Structure 1
Amino acid sequence: MRRGPSLDEARAVCVLLHGRGRSPEDVLLLAERLGLDDVAYVAPAATDNSWWPGSFLAPIAENEPYRSSALGVVEALMHSLGDPSRVVLGGFSQGACLAAEYALHHPARYGGLLFYTGGFCGPRGTIPPRLGTFDGTPAYLGTSDPDGWVPAWRVQETSAALSAVGASVTVDVFEGMDHLVNDAEIEAGRALLQRL
């Protein structure tokens, strides 16, 4: 599902991955809040509205083959969009986890990374891969502490993992915000997209 100008006419492309039990229509509400008319927004759909069945903190094998299938969806989409330096990859909740997992397994100079309440997959102690460099890709991670689904420590670990391979990361942790995207996070996302 898409919003905004055609891919050829857009100044930039923003991929938004929806959360568990949600839909592309839901996550594209973020596009309306971001309010940039020169950005094309693309939101793929998960089968049965979930990218994988279990917690993203479960052992990786417990969410297979769904996790690998979800990564394949993102990989095919990213390849279809061409130059990653004009693409911002983002999402909310489970979608942000999928975006983080994809990015850490496919580092490149993206236009940006925009993870609203999400982090890489695997239980505590998981070490993400170091497969290349983000070459200064700007990344914004926002979350609540506490959050019922995504612990702040995993968001911080994701920030460290991105920084370790060359991303320029900003993290905001909002105390007691609940599981949502607030106006400050939207403004940070808008600023990231406007810098492209």
Structure 2
Amino acid sequence: MKKIKIALAVVVALFISGCGSKIPFKAQEPLADAALVYVYVIESKGDIESASYQSYSIRINGKRVGERLKAGEYTTLDIKPNPAKLSATKDQIVEKSLDLDLKAGETYYLKIRDNLERGAFAFEQVSKDVGAKEITTTGVAGTMIEDIDNTLTELVGTGKTQESQVVETRKTAAPAPTPVSKVDELEKAYKLKEKGALSDEEFNTLKSQIISK
């Protein structure tokens, strides 16, 4: 029975990995008036079957933000420069929290380590050197390419000032649109940024909107 369970877990893992790919990690610069916080889950070296089902929700001062994180995924948060409590909740049951005194223009790395003794996990702040190295092996949290979400059809920028850029997404009533995943939306936004159509601030705003859907 154990061999059958392991074999099924391997098949599931292979199926998931073959369904699509996530956008690889891309370093960002913090906004002048916010702290940039990376939260990531390192790949588990434990039971592959249990690891495939484990996920984490992230909260700031008790309010949930962003996508649920799984092994090998990361998310970015632009947070006001104030003391804040960030927490990670495993499978909506076990919660670990960190109290941080966030500073504007600073970057923070928060790591989740799973499959510790008796199924426990750790949620900890790590140094910039360690975090910057480990997070490069992760991808953007969210659905695979085949997962259906919204279609990014138009970008609208307003207020052409350095202090404020507003980016909105709109959906048109085109007949039978082809669904596009969050990964595709983020890729389109990143290409627009590379072409100079979006500023760094516009890209960060749009990225946050896409991830938080």
Q: Tell me the TM-score normalized by structure 2.
A: 0.27
Q: Which structure has greater strand proportion?
A: 2
Q: Tell me the TM-score normalized by structure 1.
A: 0.28
Which has the higher Rg, Structure 1 or Structure 2?
2
Q: Which structure has greater helix proportion?
A: 1
